[in-house]
């Protein structure tokens, strides 16, 4: 996994250097403009100076871009698209910052930590309730890495099979089908993954696909062979029956409790 993240990082930097990233990575503008005055000339000058003098930023390695969907664990009807910018820290642990778009104007809305199955199994049982499974996101084609070659994206998804994410949203800026907040309000919200077909609100995935020029169904078909790598995961059935639309299981996506003992 680390090899492919490093490979993708180098490729991303190479694309930037030749000006190709703009062409291969469709834009997704933020739907929310925060409350507040326009930046002054002084502020813009300070930003320019900081960009030159403060170059050793922890954000620089966060250049792996993933796009997917989240539902609030305590209110699954509250759903949104999340743009992830990630750094693979080691073979078993990655950390991502989440935005409501993929341009410079995007708002920071949360964080996600991603761990391997190996690390997940070391967690106390009480802690595991905060970590959502990833196999459905991958096998369904809903989790994508926009702008990179298909073969590299597939290898990336292969290495994320059986992994888990712990996600907190701190800004309700762009809930699907609803009006977002102009500034971050209230408590952080624990987010969850979709784990069956039909759990995503109608139009959520389709509008993302149209905007970014991708096909979730094509990716699902292309990733079908990854089903052989799928293991039963904790949390698959955590929100079962809590969505408004009828849902249907996807082969390869199984809850550990439903699978029973080995």
Tell me the helix, strand and coil percentages in the chain, rounded to 5: 30, 20, 45
Residue 30 within any structural domain of the chain:
no
Average pLDDT, the chain: 86
Residue 227 within any structural domain of the chain:
yes
Provide the domain count of the chain. Answer: 1
DSSP state of 75: E
Which of 118, 122, 123 has its CA nearest to residue 162? 118
Report pLDDT for 175: 96
Report pLDDT for 12: 47
Report pLDDT for 55: 63
Higher pLDDT pick, 4 / 37: 37
Domain that holds residue 199: 2-24+63-259
* 154-188 pLDDT tens trace: 999 999 999 999 999 999 999 999 999 999 999 99
- Report whether 157 contacts 68 (CB < 8 A): no
Residue 117 within any structural domain of the chain:
yes
Residue 43 within any structural domain of the chain:
no
For residue 159, the Cα-to-chain-centroid distance in whole angstroms is 15
* pTM of the shown model: 0.84
Residue 32 within any structural domain of the chain:
no
Report pLDDT for 153: 95
For residue 118, the Cα-to-chain-centroid distance in whole angstroms is 20
Residue 11 within any structural domain of the chain:
yes
Residue 182 within any structural domain of the chain:
yes
- CA-to-CA distance for 71 and 75, rounded, in angstroms? 7
Q: What is the mean pLDDT of the segment spanning 79-92?
A: 96
Q: What is the mean pLDDT of the segment spanning 241-262?
A: 89
Residue 55 within any structural domain of the chain:
no
């Amino acid at each position: 996994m680390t090899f492919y993240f490093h490979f993708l990082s180098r490729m991303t930097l190479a694309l930037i250097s030749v000006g190709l990233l703009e062409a291969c990575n469709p834009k997704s503008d933020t739907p929310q403009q925060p409350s507040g005055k326009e930046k002054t000339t002084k502020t813009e000058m300070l930003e320019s100076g900081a960009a030159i003098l403060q170059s050793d930023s922890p954000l620089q390695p966060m250049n792996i871009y993933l796009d997917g969907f989240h539902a609030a664990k305590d209110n699954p009807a509250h759903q949104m698209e999340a743009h992830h910018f990630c750094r693979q820290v080691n073979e078993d642990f990655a950390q991502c910052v989440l935005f409501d778009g993929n341009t410079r104007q995007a708002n920071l809305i949360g964080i996600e930590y991603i761990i391997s199955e190996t690390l997940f199994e070391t967690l106390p049982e009480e802690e595991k309730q905060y970590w959502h499974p990833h196999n459905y996101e991958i096998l369904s084609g809903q989790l994508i890495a926009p702008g990179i070659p298909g073969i590299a994206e597939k290898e990336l998804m292969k290495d994320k099979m059986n992994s888990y994410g712990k996600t907190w949203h701190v800004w309700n800026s762009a809930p699907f089908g609803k009006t977002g907040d102009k500034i971050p309000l209230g408590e952080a919200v624990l987010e969850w993954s979709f784990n069956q077909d039909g759990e995503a609100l109608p139009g959520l995935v389709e509008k993302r696909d149209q905007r970014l020029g991708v096909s979730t169904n094509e990716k699902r078909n292309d990733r079908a062979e990854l089903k052989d790598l799928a293991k039963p995961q904790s949390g698959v059935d955590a929100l079962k029956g809590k969505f408004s639309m009828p849902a249907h299981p996807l082969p390869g996506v199984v809850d550990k409790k439903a699978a029973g003992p080995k």
